[in-house]
Each structure stands twice: as C-alpha cells, then as structure tokens.
Chains A and B, each alone.
Chain A
C-alpha cells in the first residue's frame, strides 16, 4: 500500500470508531462526566474543605489533574479493549480488516486512535466540569505539558487496552483487568494524594506503579510542582509506549486470538 492508501485505511478505522463514539455518547461520554462530578462534589467540596492544602494548593485544585487523568486512563483503556473484543468476538467484523491489505501495525494505530480520541475528549469534559467546581480558579502552569501528558497517557492505556482485547476470550476477560488491576493502580498512583503523605515503604511501592508517573507529569502541567522530575515521568511513559506497541505488533502479526 502507498503512504496515501495507508492513510486512507487508518482514517477509515479512526472515523468508524469516532462515529460510533458519538452515536452512543450516553454510554461513552456521559458516565465519566457523572462519576467525576460526584468525585468533585464529595472529595473536593465536602471532604476537601477538611483536608486543607496539599502541595501548596487547596485540595480541590490538587485533585483536578488526578481526576482528569482517571477519566483519560479508564476511557482510553476500555475503548480499545472493548472495540477490539467486540469486533473479533460478537460480530467477527475484524475479518473485514484481516482480509484487506491493511498491515498489522496500522491495525494497531487504527484501534488505538479511537481510544486516544475518547480518552482526550472525556478528559477535556472532566476538566471543563472541574472549572465549575473550582470556581474558575483552576491552576494551569504549562498547557503544553498538560496536552502532552493527556495524549501520551491516552496512548499508553489505549495500547494496554488493545493487549487486553486481543487476549480476552470472554467478556469477563475485558472486565477483570480494569476492575482488579487498573482501578487499584489508579487509586494508589496518587490521584487523591501526594506521595509525600505516604510512609517510606508505601512510596517504594508507588514507584513501581506507572500511573504515578503519568499523574505526576500531568499534575506538574497544572500546578508547576511534582513529586519527581518531569523527565523521569516522560522516560517511563515513552518506555511503556514502545513496549506496548511491540507486544501488540507481535500479537496481531501472529494472529493470536484472531486467527485459528
């Protein structure tokens, strides 16, 4: 395929998923908006006033980057895992792509693009809601860093979701990882607290949690302060992206779960 034909194939996969996202917006966009509003209400407004300040800002301002990140992570992950699983399991419409000249790496890009777009869009919606709860006092230290970390985080978790979608043999296989792995990782990665408020032993555990590095970089973009240097977060994120692309490429090229 020529570069133009590759672009058309990629655009087709991306467009198809974006059309689906907006067609079922009640299922794709609304749940995170409602959940985040509840988080802002309970953790920010009700409990936050008792917590006081964290990293030099009030708790509501502190918790915003973490909650936006939470929305990006869960939406990017579930989008690519479910879309891929659905197309290979329920309707077998994945065959439409498998019989075409679309190469495996482009299939990865196509499926992941929908996850990235959904993650960033939902993250933006949650950010807009946070403005309402923070009374327009939302801190923004570096918009470029915010955008960079939003996109890279969505990419990491869309890729991770795709691995899950490829491996899953039942619908339970799609739900187990988000419930038992992803959610604990997100909650223990520093969404609601700074690592400095943890005992030393717990900090070491946090250092092996990739979510910590994402939230750290993202929070730096908002507050201008971070638990660890920004370059460390970017290095971990880049390493994860490379590793996940390699795993996905290997799995899809081999046809694991796709071809008998």
Chain B
C-alpha cells in the first residue's frame, strides 16, 4: 500500500502563481522519501495540500488510500506534520502544546500526558516541558514541533525543512531519531536543503522544479545520474546528490 498517492495535482494561487502543474507521486508505506527542489518549486504547497492547509485546484491526493476530499478525517488521523514555520503559541509550555495536539485527535489527557512526556524526553526536552516555549532555543522549538507531530502516533510523518537553522550536532541527533522511527515502520516524507543528509537518509527521492516532478526514483538511480566530472561552481563542488540536483534544476 502507498502511504501517499498523488495524481495530476495542480495548484494555482489566487494571484495567478502556478505552484503545481500536474504532479503525480507515490510514496510506498515504510519509505523514507526525500522531496527536493529549489525555493518556490512547490514542495510546501504539495505538503500543505496533503495536510489540509492548502486548497488544491485539481487532482487527487490519498493517504493510505483515504482520499483527502472524501475521507479527510481518516486521512488526517494517519498524518503527522512538522511544518516549515514555527507555529505554536509561544506563551504555552511544551507539554501543553503536545497534549493539546493529542486532544485534537481525540486522545484523552490521561493517555496524552505520559505519551507527551515520553516524546519530549526522547527529544531532549524533558527539563523544558513546563517552561514557556518562547524561552526555547531555535533547535528546541524544532524538536518540540517533531514531538507535537508524533503525539497522535501517525503512520506517515511529513517533515518540511525541519532542520532549518539547527546547528550541526543537533541536526545529526534529529536525523538519528527520525531514522530510528523510520526503521520501526514509520513512513517519512522529508523536504530539506541539506542534500547530503537526504542522500544518506532517503531510500527514494524526487526532485521538483517549477511545479513539476523532474526526476523520481530510488536514491541509487538518482545518484547514478552523477557523471563525476561536473564542473566546480565558484570553486566549490558538492556531494553527488547535490551535483545531480544542480544539474537537473539548472537544465529545467
């Protein structure tokens, strides 16, 4: 079964900007899938439509075969979203943020509180659980958003640039944690600008540019497109995925 199935998805914003022009994509259950693309390529729009935050223009989206239009409640029950922007109330404390999120999924407090405490401890936020979240550092806020997205025990986790602004050490820790979840069967869709990490973590990768998928395959297939003799850009050379990414997005 696919965790996510997208067919001919189109989105044109009210200002006329075409964000997605006929995207089709399938993410198998249990996959760690990287969706890469330059800024403004349509990644966040695709994720927003899947999570119910953006209205699509046309096309279909299903989460574990539940159509997001016909069975939105079923589809959302299976999803967890870590958005690109920090979007929690900074005057609430982490434990309340995570427990309230569980409440919106119909999980009672007696179940949600121990679960939230465990998640916050796993993500290194146990000692901050009852402090106002505005006092947290940038990396802690990102981890809090991961804890919030996991509290409903989703089968499909979407991470939209979850490590933006996080230092190297913390980022490594977060990837380790997410890899562990993936190994236990959680399907992960990741967008990131850190391509070397996508290269190490993802089994499948798709590159989106100007609202269209320009490459989609296993990581090995995409890395095989690397010819090894790409010219250095301004004196720098990236990893293999980075070279492929730059070549494909530049060509298109």
Contacts and interface: CB of A to CB of B under 8 A. Distances in A.
Given A1-B106, A91-B88, A100-B76, A260 B100 contact: no
Given A99-B81, A100-B105, A259 B53 contact: yes
B74 A101 contact: yes
A23 B89 CA distance: 14
A169 interface: no
B103 A12 contact: yes
A91 B101 CA distance: 15
A2 B74 CA distance: 11
Contacts of B216: none
Nearest to B99: A12
B72 interface: yes
Given A8-B108, A9-B103, A101-B106, A259 B73 contact: no
Contacts of B77: 1, 101
Interface residues of B, number: 33
A92 interface: yes
A199 B231 CA distance: 88
A154 B88 CA distance: 28
Nearest to B80: A99
A101 B66 CA distance: 13
B190 to A, nearest CB: 17
B87 interface: yes
Counting contact residues on chain A (CB < 8 A from B), the size range is 20 to 34
A22 interface: no
B176 interface: no
A228 interface: no
Contact of A12 (B55, B76, B90, B100): B100
A6 interface: yes
A16 B72 CA distance: 24
A96 B148 contact: yes
Interface of A: 1-2, 4-6, 8-9, 11-13, 15-16, 19, 23, 87, 91-93, 95-103, 255, 259-260
Interface of B: 13-14, 48, 51-55, 72-74, 76-77, 79, 81, 83, 85, 87-91, 96, 100-101, 103-108, 148, 152
